[in-house]
Structure formats: structure tokens, C-alpha cells
A = this chain, B = another copy of it.
Amino acid sequence: MKKVMLIILDGLGDRPHPSLKYLTPLQAAEIPNMDLMASKGLLGMQYPIAPGVPPGSDTGHLSLFGYNLDEEYPGRGIFEALGEGITLRDGVAFRANFATVSERNGELIVEDRRAGRISGEDAEVLASEISRMSLLRGEVEAEFVHTLEHRGFLILRGDGLSSQVTDVDPHEVGYPVLEPLPIEEEAMKTARALKEFLIRSHEILKGHEVNRRRVKEGKPPANFILPRGASKPVNLERFGDRWGFKPAAVAAGPMYKGIARALGFEVHHPEGATGLPDSDFRGKIREALDLLGEFDFVYVHMKGTDVASHKKDPKLKVEVLERIDEALEQITDPPEDLLVVITGDHATPCLLGKHSGDPVPILFFGKGLPRDDASNFHELDASLGGAGWFLGGDLMKLILNYSDRSLEYGLRPLPRRRWYIPRREELTPLRI
């Protein structure tokens, strides 16, 4: 049995870019360590969710971790909250930013989705004005929790609430704020309560002296709360229980820490890890190697690649890839019992500056694996690799297979259906 290091390079997959002479960032980058692993290992292509479907940061990860999005996805809010250290126990929670809107023909147009990245006392004072609100004549109680900068969470509590409402945030500047619509009939009340909160909090915020002062200072007023990602607290099956691992995570971005916490990973955030292109990638891999003493599955998240893609900056992405490659030198001669897997949670083509539904290259590297002729870690070689093309939802089963942990189909040592060879302590010996 092998231990596993799963390295997710956020937004890894890409397309040819004119400023890279129509190469992809992976093709243009000098990445001798990844290429070495590719030539000795097994390449393939995976669609994190499904062909052509662009994953979100949360949904791409959940699918790769082997969770069925159609049945198990609780909405984004709870992962974001967990990432900020907030555990939601009841109600319906929304990620909710301070934003700047302006009225035009009776619509509210989003001018700035982050209200100029408002922070400090301004944000605290405004948050305190709307921190509690009684809605629908007392049937629903609202709580707004401010976290960092423009960020916060809105929680609605009361009987008969549902997370099946649409996003208020249009996700685009210049677009109107959206009416919250019920996705199912049971969500009518939630939609009405949310609408009341939006209108009343806008009333309070738009005339507030803090915002009047900000306008005078040429700063965008934080005159609206923009909710999205409605979710209900759920107990997702722990990753360790589902796949038979003792898992740890090395991550810096709040969202990724939140997902890891929700799935029961022990989360480590090494000093120097920033969730940005300047992160200490070397330190992250070192930390992951250390953790492999105590844990048998370590997930490492690197955000820099995605940040460069969102900036539409392929040269920055090349730089980030080259710095990550230097860090990977530490695992090019891995221990006998280590399976290394490198892939992304989605493609973020620099040309688009946003997530796409393109396939993402994946690399399996370790002793005793199948091999192929592919010798470079990039989209073209990966598309011809010996691991073929597969769906992200099958990744964990392939990881079990290549770490020699798969249970033969049909064997039934445990009452619950499992894909992995059970640990000794999970078995119930016959007592005579």
C-alpha cells in the first residue's frame, strides 16, 4: 500500500495563447521536474465534473475528492464560512459581500462587487447596523457576520427555510442586482425574507454617514449586501471514512481550507503560504512531506496558477509554474511507498480569464505504475497518455488502484459498501 500526495494546481489547464507563440503556459514553461515525472510516470486527461462543464473552486474539488455533486453539494456558503473559521450549525447561509450599487430606472446596477475592498472601522460600523434584523414580521431572523475586508456571511434562521434560492450577486459589474428566486416551492419564504433583507439593509446603508463620508473621499460606498451561494449546514461523509485514508491538507486560501475542514482533513497552513503567486511553494511541499509521516493522504493546494489566469497573464502563469516546478524537485525521487498525483481542479485559460470546461492534465508518479510514451507535462502529451481520459469523479478510485488499496468488486468484508481494502480495526472478528 502506498501513501498519496495529491497536488492541485488551481486552474491548471489552459489553451494556446498568442503572447506565448500559441503555446499553453504548461508548454511554454521550463518545468524539468514535472517533465521528469511525466516521462517516468503516467499521464492522462480528466474532466473534473463533466466534459465542457466549468467547475467552481468548490465543486471542482468536491468532485475530485469523490463526492457526488448532484446529491451531496450543499452550496458554497458553508465552505467559505468554514474557511474563515465559522462553523454554521443552523439556518441558511450565504456568502455576502459589501458592494457598491447605483439606481438606474428602478434597477440596482452593480458598480463594484467589493465596495472598493472596504475594510477596518468603516466595514465594522456598517456591519453593526445590519447585524441583526427581524424579517417577515418576526418569522425569520437575519444575522450578518462580517469577516475580512468586504467579506461576510448572511444567515437566515426560522422554520421552513430552504437553500434553494438563486444568487442575488450577478457576478458581473454593470449588471443589475438580481431578485432572489425560489428554485423549489419550499423556498418561497426564504426568497421573500432575503428580498426584505436586501431592501431594508440597502435603505440603512445607502444613507449612512460612513458612506456619505466615503463618497466625499472618492471611495465607493458600501451601500449593498450582495449574497450568493446559499447553503444549508450538512454533514458530508468524512473523506477518511469514504476512502480509507487519514488525510491532511496543506493550503492557504480560505475556501480550500474550508472544504478540507468540511471533509475532515487536518488543515495545515505553513508560514509563507499566501494563496497567491508569491507563495512559498517549496515550504508547502516540505510541509506535505513532513505530514506523510503521520498521514497517508496529503492534499496540497497551490492557488497561484489560477490567480495568474484570472488576471489574463499567461507570462505570470508560466513564472508561477516554473516556481512550483522548482519546489517539486523535492519529490522527483520519491520514497518507494509514495504515489504522487498532480492535476488541477479546473482549467482557467488565460485567454478567457475565467474557469472553463476544458479537460485538465493529470500525472500519476510512483514506483510500479503503468507507463506510457508521453514525456512532457502539458495538455498535448497528457491527451495521449496511458491513463486515458476520465471523469474527476473517478479520480479517487484510480488513486486507490494505483496506491494498491482497492477492494475487489464483489467482496464484502463490511456491511457498508466500500471501495478500499478495510483497515484491520474496521473489521469485526468472530468471537467464540
Q: Please list the residues of chain A having a beta carbon within 8 angstroms of any beta carbon in chain B.
A: 15-16, 22, 24, 45, 49-56, 58-60, 69, 73, 75-76, 103, 106-108, 166-168, 170-171, 175-183, 195, 198-199, 202, 228-230, 351-352, 354-359, 368-373, 379-380, 383-386, 388-391, 394, 396-402, 404, 406-415, 419, 424, 427-432
Contact = CB atoms under 8 A, between A and B. Distances in A.
Contacts of A229: 410
Chain A binding surface SS class:
loop
23 contacts: A15-B369, A16-B370, A24-B370, A51-B390, A51-B397, A53-B397, A54-B408, A55-B408, A56-B409, A107-B431, A167-B412, A167-B413, A170-B427, A176-B430, A179-B429, A182-B415, A183-B412, A202-B432, A230-B412, A354-B408, A355-B408, A357-B400, A389-B389
A406 B16 contact: no
Contacts of A408: 54-56, 354-355
Contact of A383 (B76, B170, B388): B388
A166 B414 contact: yes
A412 B15 CA distance: 27
B383 A383 contact: no
Contact of A178 (B58, B180, B386, B427): B427
A194 to B, nearest CB: 10
B181 A428 contact: yes
Given A15-B369, A22-B371, A52-B394, A410 B73 contact: yes
Given A106-B431, A108-B432, 4 more contacts: A24-B370, A51-B391, A52-B406, A383-B385
A376 to B, nearest CB: 13
